[in-house]
Amino acid sequence: MYVRDEFEDAAAMGFHLGTTAAAHFPQLLAIATPGPFFFLGDVPAEMKQATEQMQLGGEFATHTAGFDR
């Protein structure tokens, strides 16, 4: 299973993690073993800490994909 969520900014991601994702995460764990969660883009330090506390196995990269000019 592959899940991809895209957010406008860190506040939107924080809202999602605290509400929508939190609500369905227990059901997801009942049917799947989570792998690492990849966060691409600028993620504030407090969001990184939150993912560590949630034990999401977060991997962070400021570059989203491909090449820059």
- Residue 55 is predicted with a pLDDT of 80
- Residue 40 is predicted with a pLDDT of 85
Model's pTM, two decimal places? 0.69
Sign of the Cα torsion 44, 27, 1, 55 reads positive
User: What would the pLDDT profile of 2-55 be if each residue is shown by its tens digit?
Assistant: 778 888 888 898 898 889 888 888 898 899 888 888 888 888 898 888 888 878
Non-local CB neighbours of 17 within 8 Å, separated by 6+ positions: 50, 51, 54
Distance from C-alpha of 32 to C-alpha of 1, rounded to nearest angstrom = 8
Q: Residue 25, SS3? A: helix
